[in-house]
Structure 1
Amino acid sequence: MRKSLWFLFFIIGVFLCCLCQETYAESDNQIIRIDQTDYPVLYYSSPCIEGEAVWMLQARLKELGYDITPDGSFNLQTAKAVRLFQIAHGLKDTGMVTRPVWKELWQAEEGAPCITETQENKPPQVLIVIDVATRKLSVYENDNLTVTYPVAVGKSKTPTPLGEWKIVHKSLNWGNGFGTRWMGLNVPWGIYGIHGTDKPYSIGTYASHGCIRMFNRDVEKLYPTIPMFTTVKIVNKGRIFPDEFKPVKMKKGSSGQNVVYVQSRLKELGYIFDQADGRYGSMTEFAVKYFQAWNVLPVNGEMNEETYRALGMIK
């Protein structure tokens, strides 16, 4: 009888051990999903990493001529295509997608092509203005409003970047969450663009990871009318400035949303330079130095508390 009980306990113990191991294995093999567009690190694993970031990578590789079918899963075929891309561009062939790989994928030509047309044949000057507060995209030709579309913009945790950007990439039929058209922006700290969607119910809301979503029918109308290097101005209630602002120290070489805010404020005050594009380069440094000198501040071209206060960005 005692032997029978011990044997029964042994069987129950083995069963519970197997059950625990199976449960642990299931929890250990959960699929990682990556949807953000801030140059996330992607690599082959088991199970495969999935998400919109993977789909975007695959669509771009396919567009460049690599033998790959976008499915949103970072499988062995994707890793192989990444390695081939890395070899072709002088990068270390790890099969892992890091920030340098993303940037190489999205490398665009500097500046717009030279046009030597007569004034009569000169194409209209096109400008896109997107207001995240109203979730509206407006198109202007020679300063005249021509059309307005409803859009979805970034959620509070993944906001659409305010600033003045350029269309540096155009593509067709990426599918999945990107719909039928894609127009990429030259935002320096992530991958953002204007695109269609497979979630039409999200239009008019704060729903994306920072991109601007449109109804497919609308983006298909817009796409052929927008030349490369068109300026896209993204504002909040008409301004390139947030409702709440926390200053940080910055200098030449910095980049990010706070740089945009400083550039925009300098432009408002009449310190003229190119665009509020989030890149703290020589022109931004010069504008800051000029402002500091004019306001009898220490002239170093760097953003500090005293300069923020003089600009009226903090109290």
Structure 2
Amino acid sequence: MPSRSNLNRRDLLGLSGVFMAGLAAPGLLRAQDFAADTTLAPAAAPGPRHVTASFAAQRWQDHFQHLRKGAILCDLTSRVLHYWSEDESIHLVYPSSVPMSEELTRRGHTEVTLKRRNPTWIPTPDMRKRDPSLPDKVDPGPDNPLGSRALNLGWQYYRIHGIDNLAKIGRPASNGCVGLFNPNVERLFDLVEIGTQVKLL
């Protein structure tokens, strides 16, 4: 793993967003290691003022038997997503939104089954039961709850996707999915493959 002294300008800009968030929520900065390829948040994105989640360093070996096709760990307690590339040259750590309640939360191992650019959002049947006023669908665009990219998982209706509202990141704000800043999900989208293993912890 590259040392901290090897961070480049982009990495420092990415980390600056985290340090700004840390001023509002000091508990956010508990990671032990940052890889040179780690990007935590867009530098221009302000840190939410009510985020109380913290994150700790994670090792892929504690959660996966191998890194074929890479691996994604969604730490729902810390509200961060980790990605490791197959050759271990990239380790990304991104802040995320998490499910709003334990009832909507699913944990365990699954995988990426579909990658969608500029996805259309269609509410699930359960979402319609909870809120009949939801639209039939939301086309791609800034108001789309899936943001600019979506990674469908092996569990029906569960996804890792972008967001339509920056304030959702770091908060329990989803109906079961894991949300990322759009620039972060776009980078993740380009790295993962169909079959990339995923664990929600």
CA–CA distance in 2 between the matches of 1:194 and 1:210?
A: 10
Percent identity for Structure 1 against Structure 2: 32
**Are 2:177 and 1:208 aligned?**
no
The correspondence for 1:179, drawn from 147, 150, 154, is 147
Looking at CA atoms only, which structure, 1 or 2, has the larger radius of gyration?
1
2:197 match: 231
Specify every segment of 5 or more residues in structure 1 that has no aligned partner in the other structure, as ranges.
1-122, 236-315
Residue 132 of structure 1 aligns with which residue?
76
Q: Report if the CA contact (8 A) 1:153-1:159 is conserved.
A: no
Gaps (5+ residues) in structure 2?
1-66, 120-139
Question: How far apart, in 1, do the equivalents of 2:176 and 2:103 lie?
Answer: 5
Q: Which amino acid aligns with 1:135?
A: R
Counting matched residue pairs gives: 111
| Higher RCO (CA < 8 A, seq sep 6+) | 2
Structure 2 counterpart of 1:133, one-letter code: T
The 3-state SS of whatever aligns with 2:190 is: helix
Contact 1:140 1:146 in 2 (8 A): yes
Deviation at 1:142, TM superposition (A): 4.0
Deviation at 1:143, TM superposition (A): 7.6
Do the aligned partners of residues 156 and 168 (structure 1) sit closer, same or farther apart at CA in structure 2, a change above 3 Å counting? same
**Which position in structure 2 is the counterpart of 1:141?**
85
Asked if structure 1 preserves the Cα contact closer than 8 Å seen for 2:73 and 2:200, the reply is: yes
Higher percent of residues as strand: 2
Deviation at 1:125, TM superposition (A): 3.7
Decide whether aligned partners of structure 1 residues 217 and 158 sit closer, same or farther in structure 2, where only a CA change above 3 A counts. farther
TM-score of the pair, normalised by structure 2: 0.52
Residue pair 1:158, 1:208 contacting (<8 A) in 2 also: no
Report if aligned partners of 1:162, 1:234 keep a CA contact under 8 Å in 2: yes
State the shift of 1:141 in Å.
2.4
Contact 2:148 2:186 in 1 (8 A): yes
Per-residue CA deviations over 1:232-269 (Å, capped at 9, x if unaligned) read 0111xxxxxxxxxxxxxxxxxxxxxxxxxxxxxxxxxx
Instruction: Measure, in 1, the Cα distance between the counterparts of 2:177 and 2:146.
Output: 10
Decide which moves more: 177-186 or 156-165.
Answer: 156-165
Counterpart Cα distance in 2 of 1:179 and 1:150: 15
Matched AA of 2:73? V
Partner SS for 2:101: coil
RMSD between aligned alpha carbons?
A: 1.9
**3-state DSSP class of the match of 1:177?**
coil
